[in-house]
């Protein structure tokens, strides 16, 4: 069922709550791919009812980012969700989410601002205000849907850590389930932004997973010095790659490390054909 308004959604949710059913929420910005479908499958196997939100959230995009050209494929998304047995696709307008005529700025709208320590690094360094926008919309979705569980992909590792922190700090009674990264056979992590890449760009983009896999291999051979591990990336890079960051930090707290350990995650952001791509890998566990 496709629903556009909060009121209509609440009517359905209230019926489920009355019947004591568990509810799973999969927040998305649409342009669904197999990565999203893996979250939906996990939600289906965990909960009685599943809501997928499909909303390109304007307040998490910076002024020079791709909000206007972000792929919007609602009709296809709904078909995919139907195929997976999703109970409700919630696709509100911006007016529905933020109020008609509401100026989307933090001097007129209440924002949720995650701690500086978590946003002053990795993606947050160049995407000022991005995680404020993410936390604000995610908390709104949590309040609207009131799910028991919410499902997020490890591909956006910093996002999941920040959302878990928000849920913990603000006593939000929802369990956050993180699901593994889904990759093409080539190793490319699935992302809605892959749609912007040419075939050559997709080949060039393999460098992200190659760098990460190589770091993991080196770590498992005994190299632990973070700078030495990061150095190994350079042999993979060409003038097709505009690297934004490569970091090895604690996978739960995002704390910097001098020596990598079994709790480390390597994260990368790199532009290919001016498309900003991110990826990450746990150095110990298989992922």
The residues that are catalytic are 36
Which of 12, 16, 50, 60 is close enough to bind ligand PAF by CB under 6 A? 60
Residues 165 and 111: their CA atoms lie apart, in Å, by 16
The three-state secondary structure class of 264 is strand
Least separation, in Å, of the C-beta of 186 and ligand PAF?
Answer: 22
Least separation, in Å, of the C-beta of 141 and ligand PAF?
Answer: 8
Least separation, in Å, of the C-beta of 196 and ligand PAF?
Answer: 16
Least separation, in Å, of the C-beta of 54 and ligand PAF?
Answer: 9
Residues 62 and 126: their CA atoms lie apart, in Å, by 10
**Which residue from 282, 285, 287, 252 is spatially nearest to 267, judged by alpha carbons?**
282
Site for ligand PAF in 143-162 (CB under 6 A): 156, 159
The three-state secondary structure class of 113 is coil
Angle at 162 between CA 103 and CA 175, to 5 degrees: 105
Binding flag, residue 27, ligand PAF (CB under 6 A): yes
Q: Which helix H or strand E contains 28, and what residues bound it?
A: strand 23-28
Encoded one letter per residue, x for contact with ligand PAF by CB under 6 A and - for no contact, window 87-126 reads ----------------------------------------
For ligand PAF, the closer CB: 141 or 260: 141
Binding flag, residue 29, ligand PAF (CB under 6 A): yes
Q: Which stretch binds ligand PAF (CB under 6 A): 3-11, 27-35, 105-113, 273-281?
A: 27-35
Binding flag, residue 179, ligand PAF (CB under 6 A): no
For ligand PAF, the closer CB: 70 or 219: 70
Residues 249 and 212: their CA atoms lie apart, in Å, by 13
Q: CA 95 → CA 6, 25, 52, 260, 273, distances in Å?
A: 11, 21, 19, 46, 33
Which of 9, 134, 181, 268 is close enough to bind ligand PAF by CB under 6 A? 134
- Identify the DSSP state of 56: -
The three-state secondary structure class of 222 is coil
- Identify the DSSP state of 273: T
Q: How far is CA 151 from the centre of its chain?
A: 10
Binding flag, residue 136, ligand PAF (CB under 6 A): no
Binding flag, residue 132, ligand PAF (CB under 6 A): no
Least separation, in Å, of the C-beta of 243 and ligand PAF?
Answer: 22
Q: Which stretch binds ligand PAF (CB under 6 A): 26-34, 83-91, 93-101, 206-214?
A: 26-34
Q: How far is CA 241 from the centre of its chain?
A: 22
Q: Are 56 and 29 in contact (CB under 8 A)?
A: yes
**Number of residues engaging ligand PAF in binding (CB under 6 A):** 10
Token reading at 37: 């479908």
Residues that bind ligand PAF (CB under 6 A): 27-29, 57, 60, 134, 137-138, 156, 159
């Amino acid at each position: 069922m496709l629903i556009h308004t909060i009121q209509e959604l609440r009517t359905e949710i209230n019926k489920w709550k009355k019947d004591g059913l568990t509810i799973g929420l999969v927040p998305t910005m649409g342009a669904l791919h197999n990565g999203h479908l893996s979250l939906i499958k996990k939600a289906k196997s965990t909960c009685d009812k599943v809501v997928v939100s499909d909303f390109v959230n304007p307040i998490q995009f910076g002024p020079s980012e791709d909000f206007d050209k972000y792929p919007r494929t609602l009709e296809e998304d709904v078909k995919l969700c139907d195929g997976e047995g999703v109970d409700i696709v919630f696709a509100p307008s911006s007016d529905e989410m933020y109020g008609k005529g509401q100026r989307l700025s933090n001097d007129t709208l209440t924002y949720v601002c995650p701690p500086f320590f978590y946003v002053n690094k990795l993606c947050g360094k160049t995407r000022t205000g991005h995680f404020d926008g993410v936390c604000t919309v995610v908390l709104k979705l949590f309040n609207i849907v009131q799910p028991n569980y919410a499902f997020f992909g490890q591909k956006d590792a910093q996002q999941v850590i920040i959302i878990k922190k928000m849920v913990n700090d603000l006593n939000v009674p929802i369990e956050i389930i993180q699901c593994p990264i889904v990759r093409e056979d080539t190793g490319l992590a699935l992302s809605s932004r892959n749609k912007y890449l040419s075939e050559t760009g997709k080949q060039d983009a393999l460098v992200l997973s190659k760098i990460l896999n190589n770091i993991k291999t080196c770590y498992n051979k005994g190299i632990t010095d973070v700078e030495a591990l990061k150095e190994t990336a350079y042999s993979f890079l060409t003038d097709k790659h505009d690297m934004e960051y490569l970091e090895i930090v604690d996978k739960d707290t995002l704390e910097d490390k001098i020596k990598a350990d079994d709790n480390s995650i390597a994260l990368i952001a790199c532009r290919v054909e001016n498309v900003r791509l991110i990826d990450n890998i746990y150095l110990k566990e298989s992922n």
